[in-house]
Each structure stands twice: as structure tokens, then as C-alpha cells.
Amino acid sequence: MNDAGSSRSAMMATYTPPDPVFVAGSGTELTDEEGKRYLDFIGGLAVVSLGHAHPVVSAAVAEQAATLAHVSNLYKNALAPEVAVTIDRLVGGGTTRAGGQVFFCNSGAEANECAIKLARKWAGPGRHRVVAALGSFHGRTLATLAATGQPEKHVPFAPVPEGFVHVPYDDIGSIAEALEGAPAAAVLLEPIQGEGGVVVPSSDYLAKVRELCDEHEALLICDEIQTGLGRTGHWFAFQARDLRPDIVTMAKALGNGMPVGACWARAEVAAAFGPGDHGSTFGGQPLALSAVRATLGVMEAEDVCGRARRAGARLGAGLAGLPGVVEVRGAGLLLAARLDSAQAKEVAARALAEGLLVNAVRPDTIRVAPPLLVSDAEIDQALGVLQRVLAEGKAQEGRS
């Protein structure tokens, strides 16, 4: 057996990737080991928002790697305070600081783990419950798995940590009931459910949740790990609703591919953490933060929010006109197209063979989340591939 074969079988079977092995990327394009080129309309699942190998981010990381990759959090580091201020300003809408504080970590799950611990510490004993939504996804660590509103995913790992209650998404009455039933530290929600199928709640839902949280002295945690940093046409999706969350978690696009996450909290809430309450060896290390500083700088210079809105309108309109598409959901460049049959996996596989990456987020729904710098020509090219793939699928259905 050659090395590639043996290394593949040496991996745990937690993923079932299809055949191409991608070895290079540039902008919206990926190249496999055979030299075939693909349009990446999944963007590493909303990670590479500036596209693959963005020159400014790559240069910043290369320079930092050659200067100082890591210092322990036992010591101060030059980048963390500066990057935290930028994140605080983006949480505040881009121009004014929100007045919060940031904890840096390495992934989305860790950002949520931090949020849950912080909310519990803030609330104090006896008020540790967190209300979350069915259909949500918050991560794969034991606590974030317990927070994830997909009970079937808990079963093989039972018992998961207790203290999480799940209510139907976009149902304000059930949140009210859960908060009236017993004291809670927090309500944890995605402003748009990503993994759950790109589900957009009613326009007044989050504002009403905020009112209930105030009434019951519970924190509102917005999980912006997939929706954050320009993806939906705002720095954070909650900003479309003029909302003030107490805690905001982010990761994915934050480092344009460098593993990094962050948990932002209002200063009075953040004050619940003291030295030793939380930590991470790698969290906030200079290498990752060099990527964050460069990524956020380019995002602001390129007005990614405006670009996501404009490109999203073009892509959404195009998707809506494709054969067999019965609904387009989402905001900005986080979009899902629901098909008239449960063919999403087949469509994603055929699109891949034709050189386009999209993903089946539900049996009848494909999701697209291309880089925010995607061009109109690339959008039209991707729509052309989907048009062919869906029309062929229809023709096959007609023959069988």
C-alpha cells in the first residue's frame, strides 16, 4: 500500500469525504491533485470569506510565523488587545465600540463553551439552565453537543451534561414557557439556523426573545459562528434586527481559514470571569491573531457586508429561477435552495463532478456560502452548473 492509502485508513471515520483531494486554492477557486479546477460555493463552510489564499492574510501569517508564532497566555501579547478592540467595534456595528470584552479560543465549539461557562458563572448557583432551540447546531464538545437541539445526536454519548432545555425555533411562546418554568442563565440562539437548513426566523422573534430575557434576567447569547462577519450582509446577523445581545460567539470566517474563535460579552457580563476561570493554551496566540487582524482589515476595506448583500441578491434570484427549486431561504451569501424532491445529495455530488462545490444541508435542500468576494461572473458560472445538473436530474426523473 502506498503512503496516501495507508494514511487515509489511519484516520477515524468521522467524515465521509468524496473523492477529489484539494491541494490548492485561490479566491473562489480550488484545484485538486489532478489539476482539475472547481468553484467553491461552500467556502470551507462559511470559513474562507475572503477566498482561498487571500494574499494579505497569507502574507500576514507568513510574516508572523517567521517572527513569533506563540507566547503563552501567561504573558501579554501585542496583537490580542488590538484585535479585541476591532471585534468590539464590529459587534457595535462597525463605527462605535459596543463596550464589551473578548476571550479568544480556537473553534466555534470552544467559543460557545466559553459562552455557556460565562453565563453559568454570571447567573450563579441554581440558575445554570440554558434554553436553546430545536434544530440548532452549537458544536461537538459535550456541553455544546448538549446545547445542540438535535436530540438524536446526544444518544450515543449519553449522559450529556445536564442543564439544557430545547424549544421549537421561532416560537416565542415556548421560550416564554421555558423561562417561566424555572430560572435560566441564558437563551442561546443562532439568529439564522445554519446547519439546521438555513432557517430564518420571523422578523420580530429575536427582539421578543430579548424582551423575555430582560424580564427573566437571563442573558441572550447569539451564536454567530456561521452567520457572523459579513456573511448575511451585516457584521453580525443580529444587527439586521437592531438587537443587543449579551454574548456573541464567532469563529469560522474570523481567520479566513486559520483556526480561531472568539466569545464577546458585554463588560458587566464578562466581569463574571476572573483569573483562572477559563483558558486555552492556543487561544489568542499571535499566529492566529495575525490572520484575524489581516482578515478583519480586508473585510472592512472591501465592505464585505455590502458585497454580501449585492452578491446575495444576484445569487438568490438566480437560484429561485432554477428547475425544481421551490424556495430560497437565507440572507446575504448564506443561502439555501429547497428542491421539489429529496435529491439534494445527488445534486451536490453531480455539481461536484461538474466542478462546483455546494452542500446538502437537508435531504431536499442545498446550501451555498461562497466567499464574500465572489464575482458576478463566478455566480453566473455556478448558476449555470446548477441549471445543467438540475435539468439533467429532471430529465432522468422523466425517463424513470
Ligand X SMILES: Cc1ncc(COP(=O)(O)O)c(C=O)c1O
Query: Which residues contact ligand X by CB under 6 A?
Result: 107-109, 112, 137-139, 190, 194-195, 223, 225-226, 251
Shortest separation between residue 259's beta carbon and ligand X, angstroms: 8
Catalytic residue list contains 137: yes
DSSP labels, 242-311: T---SEEEE-GGGGBTB--EEEEEEHHHHTT--TTSS--SSTT-HHHHHHHHHHHHHHHHTTHHHHHHHH
Nearer to ligand X, 360 or 390 (CB): 360
User: Residue 330's beta-bridge partner residues?
Assistant: 335
Calpha distance 310→179 (Å, rounded)? 39
Nearer to ligand X, 54 or 252 (CB): 252
Catalytic residue list contains 223: yes
Residue closest to ligand X (Cβ): 108
Nearer to ligand X, 127 or 362 (CB): 362
Shortest separation between residue 149's beta carbon and ligand X, angstroms: 11
Nearer to ligand X, 221 or 379 (CB): 221
Could you say which of 223, 236, 238, 364 is catalytic? Answer: 223
Burial class (CB in 10 A: 0-12, 13-18, 19+), 242: exposed
Q: 201: helix, coil or strand?
A: coil
Shortest separation between residue 185's beta carbon and ligand X, angstroms: 18
Measured between alpha carbons, how far apart are the two ends of the chain, in Å? 41
Give me the sheet containing 22-26, strands edge to edge.
22-26, 29-32, 37-40, 356-357
C-alpha cell belonging to residue 378: 463566478
Shortest separation between residue 112's beta carbon and ligand X, angstroms: 6
Catalytic residue list contains 364: no
Give me the sheet containing 365-368, strands edge to edge.
325-331, 334-339, 365-368, 359-362
Could you say which of 137, 236, 238, 273 is catalytic? Answer: 137
Shortest separation between residue 154's beta carbon and ligand X, angstroms: 16
Nearer to ligand X, 137 or 264 (CB): 137
Could you say which of 40, 164, 170, 252 is catalytic? Answer: 252
Enumerate the active-site residues: 137, 223, 252
